[in-house]
Amino acid sequence: MIRLFSLIYIFVGATLAGSFIVAALTMNMFDSRSIIVAAVIGFAAAVPVSWIVAKKLQEE
């Protein structure tokens, strides 16, 4: 399961981090600190999402 989680995390983490960065830029937060914080939050939010998706896929 950890391999499946890792593989899903690669894609979900990048997707959520990119989405959060776009959201930060849309809110006129152009400083580097805001962009880094948005990316870190995106990668952190991807952990439970990836775990749930991997768990659901493993059940099938």
Tell me: the pLDDT tens digits for 36-45? 999 999 999 9
Distance CA 15, CA 28 (A): 20
pLDDT above 80: residue 2:
yes
**pLDDT digits over 23-34, tens only?**
999 999 999 999
pLDDT (0 to 100) of residue 60: 73
pLDDT (0 to 100) of residue 36: 97
Asked if residues 42 and 18 have their Cβ atoms less than 8 Å apart, the reply is: yes
Asked if residues 23 and 60 have their Cβ atoms less than 8 Å apart, the reply is: no
Range of the domain at 51: 2-59
Asked if residues 47 and 9 have their Cβ atoms less than 8 Å apart, the reply is: yes
pLDDT above 90: residue 4:
yes
Asked if residues 50 and 15 have their Cβ atoms less than 8 Å apart, the reply is: no
Q: How many domains does the chain have?
A: 1
Chain mean pLDDT for the chain: 96
Distance CA 58, CA 52 (A): 10
